């Protein structure tokens, strides 16, 4: 038997490791293609996604991902896509549907249903135990729970190479949409999404720190007023519309 040289062995090992690494880093292009085809201005055509042959294979790719091989921004982009993709899946599995809160007696987020790399999560575990600990509060503008008052779902997947720009755009889009967040510089009243109430610790724990932390995404007049006289501002919560973010 011919014994391979050390160089041949190392080359074969490198090729094998490279292939394994590539397999561990899912290509989100298929998800982008699905979203581009079926999401318009944040409204989702669930009936069409349910029939789209590209969606199920993408979910299988996510499930087989070796998460330990993801690095840097790949990690955050991956988990945001996982959350959004499986939220879409649970709606598609139960479509037609008026609201995701109709599922599992309103406890759909606590149901273990997402298996990634051999570990099964609920949507709440994905959000609170996996994504939030990564430390970027802009995830609250990217995770979409299929309700109309959620941030709008992008018509593309999140990608590591442009993740920062995507999250910045999501933040500005969400915070400048007066149906979701309104900043009245005349009365110094911010009527904002319940998302900020639910996740206040991620935005500074107090209303003043919250407003200061999101001010950079606001129109200039509101931003300047908050930064100059933050104590004058009061916070109220916008009614949350849980109806489905369908087309």
Q: Which residues of 122-155 are buried (b: 16+ CB within 10 A; e: fewer)?
A: bbebbbeebbbeeebbbbbbbbbbbbbbbbbbbb
Which two tokens mark 41? 């201005």
Structural domain count, the chain:
1
pLDDT score, position 20? 39
Q: Specify if 78 maps to a domain.
A: yes
Q: Specify if 18 maps to a domain.
A: no
Average pLDDT score over residue span 41-64: 97
Q: pLDDT, tens digit, for every residue of 139-172?
A: 999 999 999 999 999 999 999 999 999 999 999 9
Q: Specify if 59 maps to a domain.
A: yes
Average pLDDT score over residue span 26-55: 97
Q: Specify if 102 maps to a domain.
A: yes
Q: What is the residue range of 113's domain? A: 25-237
Q: Specify if 10 maps to a domain.
A: no
């Amino acid at each position: 038997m011919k014994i391979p040289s050390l160089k041949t062995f190392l080359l074969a090992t490198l090729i094998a490791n490279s292939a394994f690494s590539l397999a561990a880093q899912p290509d989100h292009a298929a998800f982008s293609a699905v979203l581009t085809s079926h999401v318009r201005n944040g409204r989702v055509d669930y009936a069409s996604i349910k029939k789209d042959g590209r969606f199920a294979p993408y979910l299988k790719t996510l499930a087989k991902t070796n998460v330990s091989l993801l690095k840097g921004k790949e990690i955050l982009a991956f988990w945001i896509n996982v959350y959004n993709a499986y939220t879409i899946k649970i709606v598609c599995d139960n479509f037609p549907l008026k609201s995701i809160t109709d599922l599992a007696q309103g406890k759909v987020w606590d149901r273990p249903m997402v298996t990634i790399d051999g570990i099964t999560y609920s949507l709440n575990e994905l959000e609170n135990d996996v994504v939030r600990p990564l430390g970027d509060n802009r995830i609250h503008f990217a995770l979409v729970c299929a309700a109309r008052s959620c941030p709008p779902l992008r018509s593309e997947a999140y990608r590591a190479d442009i993740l920062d720009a995507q999250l910045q755009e999501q933040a500005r889009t969400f915070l400048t949409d007066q149906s979701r967040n309104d900043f009245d510089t005349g009365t110094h009243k911010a009527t904002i999404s319940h998302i900020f109430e639910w996740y206040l610790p991620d935005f500074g724990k107090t209303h003043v720190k919250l407003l200061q932390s999101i001010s950079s995404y606001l129109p200039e007049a509101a931003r300047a007023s908050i930064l100059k006289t933050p104590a004058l501002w009061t916070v109220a919560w916008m009614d949350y519309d849980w109806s489905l973010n369908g087309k």
